Structure 1
């Protein structure tokens, strides 16, 4: 009786796009290739102060950020977001500042001790 209740309560999750990890992997690779092909046009259209090679390394960095994700549904959601982002960039619906936000340097922590504040001109 209890096992029947458990079986009824367990719900099978529907896939978003991919049925298995291999199919999700193919979708990610296709998205990566689409971005890779568009990079020269993005650099030219947006006139960003970066070379195509710098953009390629940044693209690789952005994709490898999510290497550890194993859930197929989450991978599909990220692929969908990546496709929407690509469409916005290719159609020039974004501005130059949106593209340059990917190249933003890390923010340095604020100085906490007196000497560091003094040297930075904060106090």
Structure 2
């Protein structure tokens, strides 16, 4: 019983796209470059109220969210999702609201204790 559990724990998983971390990083960089090149066209086609520089900063922010990811399979999955998003965006399969969701302000929870409510000015 325990030997079977040990065998399944040692089983190696198949890679999605990349065989090692360097290849996964190269794919992520290529995706970043593809998005970077398409941003001026996206801003013009979707007529969003943001400049190209603001979109480039948001692109960098989105990629930096996952900078500490070490697992090759997770990196590959993120790259696949990023490629799908890029294709949907370039082919105008999205609407302006979908693009603007990336620029949505962060939501802060309402205060629950008396002092926080008082300092914020809510009743």
Name the TM tier (shorter chain): 0.7 to 0.9
Provide the rounded CA distance (Å) in 1 between the counterparts of 2:55 and 2:12. 40
Task: List alignment gaps of at least 5 residues for structure 2.
Answer: none
Equivalent position SS for 1:43: helix
Structure 1 equivalent of residue 65 of structure 2: 65
Offset of 1:36 from its aligned partner? 0.2
Alignment of 1:96-115 (within 5 A): 96-112=96-112, 113=114, 115=118
Superposition deviation, residue 90 in structure 1:
0.4
Kindly report which structure 2 residues correspond to 1:23-102, keeping only aligned pairs within 5 A, or say none.
23-102=23-102
Q: Which runs of 4+ in 1 moved over 3 A?
A: 5-9, 114-117
Is 1:22 paired with 2:22?
yes
- Equivalent-residue separation in structure 2 for 1:111 and 1:61 (angstroms): 28
How many residue pairs end up in the alignment? 118
Distance in 1 (CA, whole Å) between partners of 2:107 and 2:69 is: 26
For 2:111 and 2:21, how far apart are their aligned partners in 1?
46
TM-score (norm 1): 0.86
Q: What TM-score comes out, normalization by structure 2 length? A: 0.86
For 2:101 and 2:12, locate their aligned partners in 1 and report how far apart those are by CA, in whole Å. 39
- Segments of structure 1 that go 5 or more residues without pairing to the other structure are none
RMSD of aligned alpha carbons:
1.9
